[in-house]
Amino acid sequence: MRNSLAGSTKEVLRSMAGILVDEQPCPVGGGFKTTCDYTGAMLVIGRRTAMITLSMNREAATLVVAYMTGISPTELGEDDVADGMAELVNMIAGSSKSSLVGTDFHFRITLPFVLVGENQHIVYKSKPVDRCRHYFAGDIEAILELVYLEG
């Protein structure tokens, strides 16, 4: 699922927002913490249960949603950006899910949800992030995290 998510993220950002992103692993150790203003999230349920999150700061999320919708960034309200982030993480998880049909890694997905707030971050009690990728293009930065919640 990890590689499928990475490829799906790049493809969805390219096809839906016209953004060609570079990616790299997030720094390991040193207390790296993802802080952002918008986090789109979904649970994936398969052999293992996991949560996928896509996080951006306000400016990046607004630009990405503006590119996706064709609406000027100045005309987008907080609810519009949150809805766009939910749709974005839904497309990423859905694309990854489709690529794994017929394999042992196939999974089901829940409805997306979005956390909104200045400089927020998610803490997983006693659980490290299993996969973290940093995507970037110009002023746009996004962090994709995959955390197995059990097993």
Residue with the two structure tokens 């006693």: 126
> Cβ contacts of residue 115 below 8 Å, gap of 6+?
38, 39, 41, 122
Token couple for 31: 């207390």
Note the residue count of the chain: 151
Running DSSP on this structure, what letter comes out for residue 84? Answer: H
Q: What is the distance between the alpha carbons of residues 84 and 88, in angstroms, rounded to a whole number? A: 6
Q: Residue 32: its pLDDT value, please?
A: 56
The pTM of this model reads 0.89
Range of the domain at 83: 2-148
Backbone φ/ψ region at 117: left (φ over 0), alpha (ψ -120 to 50), beta: left
Q: Residue 1: its pLDDT value, please?
A: 58
Q: What is the distance between the alpha carbons of residues 6 and 151, in angstroms, rounded to a whole number? A: 22
Asked if 7 and 117 count as a contact pair (C-beta separation under 8 A), the reply is no
Q: Residue 33: its pLDDT value, please?
A: 63
Summarize pLDDT for 102-141 with one digit per residue, the tens: 777 778 889 999 999 999 888 777 767 788 889 999 989 9
Low-confidence stretches of the chain (pLDDT beneath 50) = 30
Number of domains comprising the chain: 1
Q: What is the CATH number of the domain that holds 94?
A: 3.40.1550.10
Q: Residue 149: its pLDDT value, please?
A: 84
